[in-house]
Structure 1
Amino acid sequence: MLDSLRVSLWKLAFRLFPAYRGTGGRITHIEPDWSHVEVELPLSLRTRNYVGTIFGGSMYGCVDPIYMLMLIRRLPSAYTVWDKAAEIRFEKPGRDTLHAEFAVSDAEVEAIRESLSPGESLDREYTVELVDDEGVVHATVEKTLYVRQDRPEGLVGRVRSWLGR
């Protein structure tokens, strides 16, 4: 019950946040542990470009923050996550609603945690496709995220970090 309320509040926050709202994208599903997120981008007056297809900025904008937020939500607070780079390849014009699915597995989170010691960082690459209802790819986005462990995990690590040791 509490998990579904949190998910509903996150979806509402995305709908209300001006920067995301402006993309025209909608979050349609969030797993309570943020391991899976689904987004849809309809062709509408807000997303339509001059030639009547989905604006490329809307395609990128609706997927831009998702992987970063997923890792922020899945990793302990001892980690910093930032978008570092992105590349988008437009395959076909979007003439219908497009969908994107994001996944960050438990194994991926564990691999990040095992790879980093306090003060160390790494880059992780993720790919997401915007597809139509038939599964035809309209755009492919590759995201590079910077992940850093700022301090040791756990209460003892946080106290030591706070004390400057």
Structure 2
Amino acid sequence: MNVIKKLQTIPFISKFFLNHYSPYKGAGIEIEKIDLKNYYVRVKMPLTHKNQNIVGTHFGGSLYSMIDPFYMLILMHHLGDKYIVWDKSATIQFLLPGRSTVFADIRLDFAEIEHVKSLAENFAPVHRSYILNIFDESGSRIAEVHKTIYIRRKKPRAFQR
């Protein structure tokens, strides 16, 4: 494993890099907790002039952006280099205007990782769908995100053409 990949497995280093990632820093998005080993990430975004829309509520693109890569990152961490993992599609439904700090908890579990491995065992593409809610400080659900992730086990080199 190269040094960069090894460093990315250390939670506070991953958190540091993600919190300084330009699109996140620009939108005021903050990774509060990253625990890839335990299949969990918590993200927050306060409402600021950097991420509000013309009517003074959270910009929809920033709401989606705050949760975008995390299912893919958790899956990549647990599946390893023998799998291809890509975001396939996503939709977001805005339920209420976001007028305060918003939060999202991204979770998977051991059973899901094992299920994905069993589905991908024969090298066929696997599409997994996940639903995630974004909440405001009062606990109101302000958005629902549906993500579809493409996963495929890589074929051994001898089988690749």
Q: TM-score range by the shorter chain?
A: 0.7 to 0.9
- For 1:42, the equivalent position in structure 2 comes to 46
Name 1:25's counterpart in structure 2: 29
Equivalent position amino acid for 1:131 in 2: F
1:14-67 superposed Cα distances (whole Å, 9 cap, x missing partner): 122223333321110011505011000110111111111111111011111111
- Displacement of 1:138: 0.4
Q: Distance in 1 between matches of 2:66 and 2:82?
A: 27
Q: Which residue of 1 aligns with 2:135?
A: 131
Taking the TM superposition and a 5 Å limit, the aligned residue runs for 1:16-165 are: 16-151=20-155, 161-162=156-157, 164-165=158-159
Normalised TM-score (structure 1): 0.86
Structure 1: 5+ residue runs without aligned partners?
A: 152-160
Distance in 2 between residues matched to 1:52 and 1:14, nearest whole Å? 26
Please say which structure displays the higher CA radius of gyration.
1
Q: 1:18 to 1:118 in 2, by over 3 A?
A: farther
Paired residues of 1:34 and 1:74 also in contact (CA < 8 A): no
Flag as ranges the 4+ runs of structure 1 deviating above 2 A: 19-24
Partner of residue 8, structure 1: 12
Q: Secondary structure at the match of 2:149?
A: strand
2: CA distance between counterparts of 1:23 and 1:69?
20
| Kept after mapping to 2: 8 A contact 1:88/1:141 | yes
Give per-residue Cα distances to partners, 1:95-123, cap 9 Å, x unaligned: 00000001110000000111112531110
| Percent of residue pairs bearing the same amino acid type | 34
Distance (Å, rounded) in 2 between the aligned partners of 1:63 and 1:90: 14
How well do the aligned residues superpose, as a CA RMSD in angstroms? 1.9
